[in-house]
Amino acid sequence: MAKQRATSNFLDDVRNLIGRVQNGEAFSRYLSGRKERIALLVALCVTLSIGCASGVILFVLGMRPILVLVAVLAVPFVLLGSLALLLYALFSWLENVALVAALHHGKPAVPQLPWPLVAAFVGVPFLLLLVRAPVIGIVLGAMAAAGPYLYLHFERRKR
């Protein structure tokens, strides 16, 4: 029951965020002025989602056929679920960055995320990728960690 409530709250939060992106003048202006950098962050989210989905498949290769079948059936859900969560985290964080830029003080806060969903759709598949393809996992993890810092670095240089 609690997981269902967390999921419905997450879906409401996603709808509200989409509404703020579409209807919020200040946030839309902030996003439109930084399209190139945001497109790179979105591409990073897509790459991480593909890596998570690949981790599920790579982990079960060579195992029993029924496990491979279950993994193949789970891949679209992992791909779409991880992409939705990563994009939600990205745009929630960008909204916090825009607020800090508008107020001219403070640091952007880390957005509130549905951690059970993040663990299921991003954390576990990413750990499976790290187990089977550690070099790829480390590179993707480093890119994911560096993305926000590079964005903020170039954001400060722009001012």
First to last CA, the chain: 47
Question: What is the average per-residue pLDDT within 91-116?
Answer: 87
**pLDDT for 154:** 87
Give 110-142 pLDDT, tens digit per residue. Answer: 888 999 999 999 999 999 999 999 999 999 999
**pLDDT for 139:** 96
Measure the CA angle with vertex 11, ends 95 and 78; round to 5°.
Answer: 95
